Amino acid sequence: MDYQDAGVNIQAGREFVSRIQELVARTTRPEVLGSLGGFGGFFQLPQGYQAPVLVSGADGVGTKLKLARDLNRHDTVGIDLVAMCVNDVLTCGAEPLFFLDYLATGKLEPEELVQVISGIAEGCQQSGCALLGGETAEMPGFYQPKDYDLAGFCVGIVERDNLLDGSQVALGDIAIGLASRGIHSNGFSLVRKIMQDGLRGDRNLPGWAWEEQPQALGGQSLGDALLTPTQIYVKSVLAARQAGLDIHGMAHITGGGLPENLPRCLGVDQSVVLQPDSWPVPPIFHWIATAGNVSPEVMFDTFNMGIGFVLLVPPSHADSAITWFEDRSINAYPMGHVVAGAKTVLGIPVNSESS
Give me the half-sphere count of Cα atoms (radius 13 Å) on the Cβ side of residue 106.
Answer: 8
CATH of 174-346, one of 3.40.470.10, 3.30.60.50, 3.90.650.10, 3.30.300.30: 3.90.650.10
Q: Which pLDDT tens digit goes with each residue over 201-256?
A: 555 556 788 998 988 898 899 999 999 999 999 999 999 999 999 999 999 999 99
Where, residue-wise, is CATH 3.30.1330.10 in the chain? 3-162
Q: What residues contact 316, with CB distance under 8 A and at least 6 apart?
A: 246
Return per-residue pLDDT of the chain as tens, 355 residues. 656 666 677 776 777 777 788 888 899 999 999 877 778 889 999 999 999 999 999 999 999 999 999 999 999 999 999 999 999 999 999 999 999 999 999 988 888 999 999 999 999 999 999 999 999 999 998 998 889 999 999 999 999 999 999 999 999 999 999 999 999 999 999 999 998 876 565 555 567 889 989 888 988 999 999 999 999 999 999 999 999 999 999 999 999 999 999 999 999 999 999 998 899 999 999 999 998 899 999 999 999 999 999 999 999 999 999 999 999 999 999 999 999 999 999 998 654 443 3
Q: Given the DSSP bridges, would you call strands 130-138 and 95-105 parallel, antiparallel or unpaired? A: parallel
Distance CA 260, CA 252 (A): 10
Which residues make up the CATH 3.90.650.10 domain(s) of the chain? 174-346
At residue 354, the 3 state secondary structure works out as: coil
Contacts of 130 (CB under 8 A, 6+ apart): 27, 28, 29, 31, 32, 43, 97, 98, 99, 124
Closest by CA position to 25, among listed 153, 140, 129, 131: 131
Number of H helices, E strands in the chain: 11, 14
pTM above 0.85, yes or no: yes
C-beta atoms surrounding 158 within 10 Å: 22
User: In angstroms, rounded to a whole number, what is the distance separating the alpha carbons of residues 154 and 132?
Assistant: 10
| Ramachandran bin of 62, using left for φ above 0, alpha for ψ from -120 to 50, beta for the remaining angles | left
Q: Which CATH superfamily is domain 3-162 in?
A: PurM-like, N-terminal domain (3.30.1330.10)
